[in-house]
Amino acid sequence: MKKVLLFFAVALILGLVATQVVNAGSDQAVMDKLEQLKKSVQMQQEQLGILQQQLEEQKALSAESRKTDLTEVKKVVLEQLGGQDVLPEWVKRIKIGSDIRIRYHGYFGREGSEYSGGDKGLVGGAPVKIVDQPDRHQPRIRWRFYVEGKITDELTAYVATCTNAGVDRGFPPKGSDDFWESATGTVPFGIIRTYIDYRPKALPGSYFGAGRFAKNFLHTIITWDPDTNPDGVYASLKLPGETFSPFIYTNFIVIDEQALDPEATLWLSQVGADIKLNKDITWTIAGTYSYYAGLNDAVLRVEGADQNLAYLSRGYGNTLKRISTTAATARQYVYAYEYRLAEFITFLKFKVEKVPVVLTFNYIENVADNVPGDRDTAYWVSGKAGENKRKGDFSLELAYYNMEPDSVFARFNDSDISHSNRKGFFARAEYSITDRFTARLTPVFAKLSRNVYNDHPGYWTGTGTDSDQKSTLIQFDLMYRF
């Protein structure tokens, strides 16, 4: 019995010893494996570092090679030209830009929007019948070409040309589209901007200029069409600040210059400020006063005949009055009221989940003497989300507007919202197909703001009898920037 117990004791001891030996061997194997993996990772990191260094060296060599190649090419060209750089310094300061737009422009549901007889209701001053118009499908094209020349660090010259359906009609139109209306004719082309702009370094944010210029003041389309480029002189003074930046814009604009009659002109002054509420919210507020003078004295020569602004535009919704039944057609009608526009405009810019949003409110009142209180007010309320800068960007704008007959000078505002005496809804959706190519859809639903044909004998707005005029405009644009 003692021998048996002794045998089992010895076996147990040997088993424990063997287990320890096996475990020790297993632990050592794991440690060896970890050491091998560590060395492998270190080697891979060293190889990655070597490859990264080689890549950086190749980039540097490639950039240096391109620079050297350009230098050699320039050297060879200069040698061929006798060692002279033929391009003057001012040529090197020129920037060129261009864009093209193909537009579908369609009118639908035009109820009571055309006169069936007479000269748009002007001849004899007698009421004529209003009839509905059929739908209209009108393709349009626009091509603009811009040149910017940096004369000095403070002085810049701008020139822009554009297709324009009215260039060949003897007067400067405000639109920029040409129509698909001829299989053999040429596209009219004209100068839309040509001006000098001065921005002194001593007055950061301020500038002065003259010519046919891009509008420098704040506005919406109920006062100014995007394609309208006024002639005259302008100035802007701004005091940049971190949270509060006041500004003053002033313009003297020549509407029409006459050899004998007084000129038709516009003085426009705007005072406001940009207020930085925080890093993502900016509030802009401004007040504007526009003083129009000599509108009834302006006479433009159109297709060989003299026509005043009132007759030429048929009022565009502004109220006209008949002053003669025997004078030449151009002088039979004039604007019934003057235009002294007091305006308030504000923009609130902020972001929602990194999406830029702009809320806009524009209010105008014609404060000239004798303008009836039910015809002197206009306003625009809109909101826009998104902006179009890169491929995939999308923006959406929605607006409501109301323009009473004599609240704005209708010849300058956007024709797409029917100039004046209109109210309705405006919408615009735009998508960037590429960084430079965008598609845009713009529906506009408009109707008469006020029926004023029969309630004011002897006066005429170019719109309305007993008919409730209304229309729907649909625009679809494809635009490419070069």
For residue 8, the surrounding DSSP H or E stretch is: helix 2-80
pLDDT tens for each residue of 140-155:
888 999 999 998 889 9
Between CA 482 and CA 475 the distance in angstroms is: 22
Place of tokens 């494809």: 478
Bridge partners of 286?
Answer: 272, 345
Residues 297, 305, 267: CA angle, nearest 5 degrees: 30
pLDDT tens for each residue of 115-140:
444 444 443 444 445 566 778 888 88
Q: Tell me the three state secondary structure of residue 420.
A: coil
Give me the pLDDT at residue 466, please.
Answer: 39
Count Cβ atoms within 10 A of the Cβ of residue 269 and give its class: 0-12 exposed, 13-18 middle, 19 or more buried. middle
Q: Tell me the three state secondary structure of residue 391.
A: coil
Q: What are the residue ranges in the chain where pLDDT is below 70?
A: 1-27, 30, 41, 57-88, 90, 110-132, 165-175, 177-187, 258-261, 300-306, 313, 324-331, 451-468
Task: Count Cβ atoms below 10 Å from residue 369 Cβ, excluding itself.
Answer: 7
pLDDT tens for each residue of 314-347:
778 888 887 766 655 556 778 889 999 999 999 9
Residue 201: C-alpha distances to residues 154, 207, 236, 272, 353 (Å): 7, 10, 14, 22, 37
Give me the pLDDT at residue 57, please.
Answer: 67
Give me the pLDDT at residue 169, please.
Answer: 44
Please, what's the largest Cα pairwise distance for the chain?
A: 152
- Give the neighbor-by-neighbor strand order of the sheet with 320-322: 333-335, 320-322, 459-460
CA dihedral 309, 313, 318, 320 (to 10 degrees): 60
Between CA 80 and CA 97 the distance in angstroms is: 31
Please choose, from the candidates 130, 104, 88, the residue with its C-alpha nearest in 3D space to the C-alpha of residue 463.
130
Residue 258: C-alpha distances to residues 175, 263, 268, 308, 331 (Å): 23, 5, 21, 12, 15
pTM for the structure as a whole: 0.75
Give me the pLDDT at residue 123, please.
Answer: 39
Tell me the pairing of strands 305-308 and 299-302.
antiparallel
Bridge partners of 190?
Answer: 162
| Contact status, residue 219 vs residue 235, Cβ threshold 8 Å | no
For residue 7, the surrounding DSSP H or E stretch is: helix 2-80
Handedness of CA 152, 210, 148, 190 (dihedral sign): negative
> For residues 422-434, b (16+ Cβ closer than 10 Å) or e, as one string?
bbbebebebbbee
Residue 132 structure tokens: 């509905």
Q: Tell me the three state secondary structure of residue 135.
A: coil
Residue 351: C-alpha distances to residues 8, 279, 337, 382 (Å): 84, 10, 43, 16
Give me the pLDDT at residue 391, please.
Answer: 94
Between CA 412 and CA 49 the distance in angstroms is: 65
